[in-house]
Amino acid sequence: MKLAVSGMTCQGCVNAVTKSIQRAAPGSAVAVDLAAGSVEITGSVEEQVARQAIERAGFTVTGRIG
């Protein structure tokens, strides 16, 4: 699943999003693309769980990509 996320600007943002998703969905792989403003998650995680994890980290999910 690939989500569009606004507000990410630095490596600290990448770390916060990655850690939050991995806490919510252990075993998931997370790839953050700052330039594209996207987060790609592989593994068994529901979209709503991923969205909530990203929002807990302080960012806004603006939609799903693809």
- Determine the pLDDT at residue 63: 97
Q: What domain range is 54 assigned to?
A: 2-65
| Number of domains the chain contains | 1
Residue 13 has which token pair? 């943002």
Element (H, E) at 12: helix 11-24
Check residue 66 and give its pLDDT: 85
pLDDT value, residue 20:
98
pTM, rounded to two decimals: 0.94
Q: Residue 32: which CATH number?
A: 3.30.70.100
User: For 21-54, what is each residue's pLDDT tens digit?
Assistant: 999 999 999 999 999 999 999 998 999 999 999 9
Instruction: Give dist(CA 16, CA 5) in Å, integer.
Output: 13
